[in-house]
Chain A
Amino acid sequence: MAEQIPTKIWVMRPKASATQIRIRPGDLVDDVRDEILRKYGNSLGKTFDSPDLTLRIQVGEETQNNQRSRTLGPEEDMVKTLNAYYPSGQTVKDALVIEIPRTSTTPKPSPRVPLPHSGSASAAYYGGDDGRPSETGEGYFPPVGGNTSSPRLAMSVPAQANGAMPHSMTVINSGHLPPIPPLPSPGGNRPRGHRDRDQRHDRQDYSRTGRTHTPSPNLHNGGGSGAGGGGGSSAIPNSASSTAANAHGATHYRSRHSHSRTHSSSSEHIVTHSGAMAKSPGHEMTSSARMGTPPPQRLSSPRLPSSRPKKSKRSSQQQQQQQEYHHTPSPSILTATVPPINVLIVEDNPINLKLLEAFVKRLKVRWSTAMNGRDAVKKWRNGGFHLVLMDIQLPGMNGLEATREIRRLERINNIGVFSTAPTGIPETTQAEELTEQDRLEGIGQFKSPVIIVALTASSLQSDRHEALASGCNDFLTKPVNFVWLERKVMEWGCMQALIDFEGWRKWKDLSAKAEAIEAATQRAKAQAYKNKTKKNRPIMSAS
């Protein structure tokens, strides 16, 4: 175990049960935040980075809103501060309150929009103080069990998670091991508080390490709210923790007005946002898949800015939507950093094509278009593409045929994995000779097999299988959901950028140069314009 003598301090989330975390003498508040994220691996760790958190120290009795409190700066020495406030030692009721920024963590208003007004039952549900939906990015899931009391029940979940103390302590003490976030066991609502408290002092209690195999957390370090956390596959295990987080959203309500905005610096907001961004799409989809289940309004919850005044629901909703709308372009997920890949869009319907083009334009990636399979193969042969968005039903050569053709050409030209893995396709390697007409020019342009994402109109499983069998890597169902599309572009794009790192770097250098030149030209133009306007009257307003 650790060489240094650790100290334990109490922390809690608003209105939730307090828990202890271990710190070492000399740890700063900043270090404490890291520990908190490990401790609250599910409810906070997946969504927030440690700079997002603020710690508030309470002075005096907790009497509703009257208590005095102070937010701790990240650079403060934790032990010293606590000693100063609590000379006789920090007790449970002195637990530091963990706060998370509210507004900024609201995930980007996603294309999955709130459903039309829902029944009054769910409205009432949201109207209640305790039933407030989480607005911090975790509220994607309908309440487990769907009853209105679930947030209350769920409140016990973080406490339980904290109950896995012996385990977490081991991790923390060893310093460098990746923390294994304790997962609240779904449905485990029995009150275990006392037992846990007792066990807290029993460090040898490994009885619960069995939990670690629970198939949830894809976070690897304390602040693991990055891209890795967004896997749609984690949707089910996540639901438990997100409910827990919901509870937090609810319980946090009281202190929100006084603290949420003021205590986080703007840089923290940015960090938070990116965290939430990466997370949102998958979860969003999960909830949209459940669209049929009441209360439908649940879907809308992640979109609601937390600054919502509680008065008239109708008008405030309108306000929000306006806000959201105007917010959309700036903190949009569409502005997330997508690797500068080159995408080929194959789509025969001009309307759909236009929309897809507009979409990839926003992602700031290069793209080309093709309107039929043959054209797609031709364009692909020019090289340099990382990703193909391939409509399946195309006139003439359809998307599957085009995909097969691309794969065939890749194979006989020995591009990427096919050159070293002939065993997987024994019957073709010998049969096919590379003919002149199949030879790809500029073979250096083909670093790896292109990623082909099929766009299928039907959600039939058989169609998907057929697409994958033809050599597509992935598929999306039309109408394409932009959140999903972005995720695909991001995922596959990142992979391709890694494979073709050299090419990517070259391109980056080039584009940086191009930008510099562009900027210089702009400046020159602006200068020229200025000079001109001194002589002539300006016709246009200055740009």
Chain B
Amino acid sequence: MLLAIVIWGVTGVVTAGFATKRWWFPAPINTHAAAFDSYFSANLIFSGIVFLAAQLALGWLIWRHRNRGQQAVHSDGNNRMELLWTSLTAILFLGAAIGSARMWSDVHLSTFSTTPMRIEASGKQFAWNFRYPGADGKFGKTDARLANDAAGNPAGILPDDPAGKDDIVNAALRIPAGRPVQLILRSNDVLHNFFVRELRVKQDLVPGLDIPLHILADKPGEYEIACSELCGLGHHQMRSVMIVLPQPDFDSWLGKQAAK
């Protein structure tokens, strides 16, 4: 009896915790993030109903059938019930898999209608660098052995590559609002992960691979970038910011950088 009450109590507290949303997502800053939030809400409601139904039923069965000297019903199963709940869960679970495939495809398997701006995002223990190709639109070749923060070449751009002369490297990621951006994620030491909560997207940086990630932010502001793949003792401080600027502000910032 006590157990039934404890299970119901815990169920109530857990449900209330999720319902109050005291600790929750930050506000979305693009259509993907908004779509993510509503898709997650649907999941939350669905699993919330199952959670409540299962826990309440468990508590009720404990309450109802606690031993008061009664004889147990003899039953060793029911094939129709098995068939019913097997097909029901199969449909629901497969529905979830298929339902979310679309959103995944939008992030990873589709292209923008306009040409995205390309920015190279590279991580190393325990800092971020963001490289813009400059006026020529081309990134200079790099060699990680040449990377040297003190010498002003954190990306390790080859000095004799003309394409690299006008490359701009910055510790923060500045992007124009409303414009598609293709990040090229690179690392030359260990795994890292690019995660901006407001974009509802994360992607590992893998040495040996250049991984493209399409992002688009509509709402100007400053958002934290948190490394989300264990990269060593300073993992917890591998922070940068993504600064979303209105297009004119972005253009003037880029102009100033190029003039440097």
The yes or no verdict on A and B being binding partners is no
Binding site for B on A (CB under 8 A): none
